[in-house]
Amino acid sequence: MGETQVKTAHPKGLWVLFGTEMWERFNFYGMRALLTLFLVNSLLMKEEEASLIYGGFLGLCYLTPMLGGFIADRFFGNRNCILLGGLMMAAGQLLLFTSGAIFEGNLSLATTIMYCGLGVIVFGNGFFKPNISSMVGSLYPKQEKTKLDTAFTIFYMGINLGAFLGQYICPMLGDVKDSGGIRDIHAFKWGFLAASIAMLLGTTLFYFLKNKYVVSPEGRPLGGLPSKNEAADFEEGEAQTANFSNTALTVAGLAFIVLGFIFHYGVGQNLIYTLIYSSGIALAGLIISDSSLTKIERDRIIVIYIVSFFIIFFWAAFEQAGSSLTFIADNQTDRNFFGFQMPASMVQIFNGLFVVALAVPFSVLWDTLRASGKEPISPVKLAFGLVVISISFFMIATQVSYIGTSGLLAIKWLILLYFLNTCAELCLSPIGLSLVGKLSPKRFASLLYGVFFLSNASGYALGGTLGSILPATGDKFVKAKELGIDLQAILDKTVTPTAEQLALLDKHQISATNHFFAGFEIHNLYEFFMVFVVLTGIAAIVLFILTPFLKKMMHGVR
Ligand code: GLN
């Protein structure tokens, strides 16, 4: 389809939503790029602690959309929720700005304010994210639903254009080092302020343009209060909501509590991770036990669950971007990019950049394959995404094995990693979203999207746990040497550290022991990355093996 045709074919409201979401993602990804570095350098946390907070924060950002979607449907409507969510996120960023401004005088107050800021952003994101996505769907009347794939491709480009801009501007302002490589730990706040301003811009844009452009083909405003009964406008996420019996809700509630105990006390997960995992499983159980489901509907829902389970491993690997990969970029990478010394937090910008470049070619690829009858079914595309990310982590594992604890990784390898991860993302993320839409019975669609997002959330939480087993990078060995400590010998247990040495290492946020995953000790960066290769590789193989069964259970849906 030609450029002009696309422009005229899509309602102007799509561009308003595109712009609003672009500024929102600027705020989200720009802040996210700085977050872990801020926690470590200004709030003096250990890297593993920062990774856990980062994973928990991202996980919660994908848990609250359930709440935001529910509140919009029942009480406030999409528009109000977008405005409320936008303002909350801008306020949350201001709290992070405050934390970044006062940490030196009062570390514990700054830490509390940081947690409050993240909390406000989590809820703001929950109000904003599901409602803006569902408004994209509602811009198109039933007879124009065929345009939805392109509409979502355009929207996904808006998301990533915003991510790209945010990950350029916020690191430029907030992740600053002098010519000697010494970091300005007071600069982070400017990145958070820029994120806040971007969010305000997006909210203002939406506020002023919504009535004119975000309208139905007949010119009626979309996404108003639910009591005004706009069901007719919402052909996508329509008002046929599920009605569960009180018994089913009680059983689900009890299951949630029991699962909570198991994850918290049995598996040792923290409360936030427990909340994410337990609510995902309890909600999935609630839907599948509904007696109104036919056999075909139930089969299709099971496919959604199976797919949701496998993509957990994808996001756990993918979201190393803002934690372990940023720490490696910061501590053991030559970030010279054609003469420009790239800030560590900016390296993930390549993801957004590659999405913007590749989203259209990928959708053309699927169209071409479809036209020649060779388009793979969606679970195969998802499995392919898992294969690609596994290869990507294998590539980086091999590269880090060459540099040991003293060499520097060339930035081109991280760029290649983001290129491969983006290809994998484009096989998996938009395809997964549309698959859920195609397989869900209408009355359960929003809730099944909830389950799908909860699997993203679980992936982020798992990503946080996995990020926290990152072994010491080169800078830690240099620092320990300066302190007169042989860190390698201590980690290898050939030398027992004195209490004084332990205290010294702790003061410099260096762990004196290796981390473990599933009983395996992680000795170096190679082993660390191989964990992701194995997890995503196994997930890919099992998903491939399951595809003939999934195809049957999808009953004609591709
Ligand atoms: N990058 C996309 C976004 O920010 C998708 C993330 C996801 O689905 N987990 O919306």
Question: Which atom of ligand 1 lies closest to the CA of 460?
Answer: 9
Pairing mode, if any, of strands 409-410 and 333-334? Answer: parallel
CA of 53 to the centre of ligand 1 (A): 19
153-167, 193-207, 214-228, 364-378: range with highest mean pLDDT: 193-207
Residue 177: enclosing H or E segment and its boundaries? none
Residue 367, pLDDT > 90, answer no
Average pLDDT over residues 490-502: 92
**Average model confidence (pLDDT) for the chain?**
90
Pocket of ligand 1 (CB under 6 A): 25, 159, 315, 429, 456
Q: What is the pLDDT of residue 229?
A: 46
Question: Are residues 221 and 211 in contact, defined by beta-carbon separation less than 8 angstroms?
Answer: yes
Instruction: Specify the residue with its C-alpha closest to ligand 1, atom 4.
Output: 159
Question: Are residues 84 and 67 in contact, defined by beta-carbon separation less than 8 angstroms?
Answer: no
Q: How far apart are CA 405 and CA 331, in angstroms?
A: 10
Residue 442, pLDDT > 80, answer no
pLDDT bin (cut points 50, 70, 90) of residue 239 is: very low
Q: Which of 21, 159, 355, 436 to mutate to test the pocket of ligand 1 (most atoms within 8 A of CB)?
A: 159
Average pLDDT over residues 521-547: 96
Instruction: Specify the residue with its C-alpha closest to ligand 1, atom 5.
Output: 429
Q: What is the pLDDT of residue 228?
A: 52
Q: What is the pLDDT of residue 100?
A: 98
Q: What is the pLDDT of residue 430?
A: 83
Q: What is the pLDDT of residue 405?
A: 86
CA of 426 to the centre of ligand 1 (A): 11
b/e map 104-135, b = 16+ CB within 10 Å: eeeeeebbebbebbbebbbbbbbbbbbbbbbb
Q: What is the dihedral of CA 408, 414, 415, 416, to 10 degrees?
A: 110
> Mind giving me the DSSP string for 131-161?
HHHHHHHHTS-GGGGGGHHHHHHHHHHHHHH
Q: Which residue has better confidence, 241 or 469?
A: 469
Question: Which atom of ligand 1 lies closest to the CA of 429?
Answer: 8
Q: What is the pLDDT of residue 439?
A: 86
Pairing mode, if any, of strands 515-517 and 333-334? Answer: unpaired
Q: What is the pLDDT of residue 237?
A: 41
What are the sequence ranges of the domains in the chain?
Answer: 13-215+292-471+514-553, 243-291, 472-513
pLDDT bin (cut points 50, 70, 90) of residue 224 is: confident
CA of 223 to the centre of ligand 1 (A): 22
CA of 216 to the centre of ligand 1 (A): 26
Question: Which atom of ligand 1 lies closest to the CA of 28?
Answer: 4
b/e map 47-59, b = 16+ CB within 10 Å: bbbbbbbbbbbbb
Residue 158, pLDDT > 60, answer yes
pLDDT bin (cut points 50, 70, 90) of residue 7 is: very low
CA of 193 to the centre of ligand 1 (A): 23
Question: Which atom of ligand 1 lies closest to the CA of 160?
Answer: 1
Residue 215, pLDDT > 70, answer yes
Instruction: Specify the residue with its C-alpha closest to ligand 1, atom 8.
Output: 429
CA of 25 to the centre of ligand 1 (A): 9
Question: Are residues 125 and 54 in contact, defined by beta-carbon separation less than 8 angstroms?
Answer: no
Q: What is the pLDDT of residue 343?
A: 95
Q: CATH number of the domain at 13-215+292-471+514-553, please?
A: 1.20.1250.20
Question: Are residues 335 and 411 in contact, defined by beta-carbon separation less than 8 angstroms?
Answer: yes
Q: What is the pLDDT of residue 449?
A: 82
pLDDT tens digit sequence for 324-366:
999 999 999 999 999 999 999 999 999 999 999 999 999 889 8
